[in-house]
Amino acid sequence: MENETVTVYRGSFECAKRGTVTIGAWDATEAKALEYVDRYRKIGGENKRSNPCLESKTVAVYDWPIKSGVTVDLSEGYGGAMFIWHTGMSEKELVSWWNKQSSVRYLLGEKGKCNLPGRLSEAWLDGDVTKGVFSYGADGKTEIFILWPKDKWVAHLNADADENSCLKPPNKKLIRFPKP
């Protein structure tokens, strides 16, 4: 996807009680962003006196990384954090590694230190979530948009219940976390 970009939008409005209110989510179109502004104004009891403001950002688009091993769409907790996990492992290596683990708590580590092999990049859903996910580039600072692959690996880690953690290869059966 060389030289391709995606632009997303978010709105804000003036609120008599709270000043400027910025809607946190970025949307795929200006119309969708303005729709959210109207919805939030109604919830907050604001009338339409103040004009909404639109903000936009444009970021580079990349294909899902697959050159250096399996890359996984990883979620943690109940709708909590989301990551792109660059495992550095082949499919066979990843399944073998997964089946040897004893505790999700160990994998998640303490104080934000994760014990997963490879590299984790924070990810978030904004814009057109059917097309891809936002993350950071290799420098860890530059926002990029990564297109969903045709076939992707998905994993979920649940620190409260190992049995709810799983790895899902594309077009294959779910692999539950091993029981200790």
Is the pLDDT confidence value at 137 over 60?
yes
Quote the pLDDT of residue 82: 86
Residue 24 pLDDT more than 60? Answer: yes
**Identity of the amino acid at 78:** Y
Q: Residues 84-105: what's their mean pLDDT? A: 87
pLDDT at 104 over 80: no
- Per the structure block, which two tokens stand in for 38? 């109207």
**CA pair distance 42, 155, nearest whole angstrom:** 38
The answer to whether residues 156 and 69 belong to one domain is yes
Q: Is the pLDDT of residue 54 over 80?
A: yes
Q: Are residues 45 and 132 both part of a single domain?
A: no
Domain shared by 93 and 162, yes or no: yes
The model's confidence at residue 168, banded by pLDDT at 50, 70 and 90, is very high
Could you tell me if 171 and 99 lie in one domain?
Answer: yes
Highest mean pLDDT among 34-38, 77-81, 85-89, 139-143: 85-89
Do 21 and 104 lie in one domain? The reply is no
Q: Is the dihedral of CA 105, 106, 107, 108 positive or negative?
A: positive
| Shared-domain flag, residues 46 and 89 | no
Sheet of 53-62: strand order equals: 19-22, 5-15, 53-62, 143-147, 132-136, 119-124, 82-86, 71-76, 153-157, 166-168, 175-176
pTM greater than the 0.85 cutoff: no
If asked whether residues 50 and 72 sit together in one domain, one would say no
Say if residue 101's pLDDT is above 60. yes
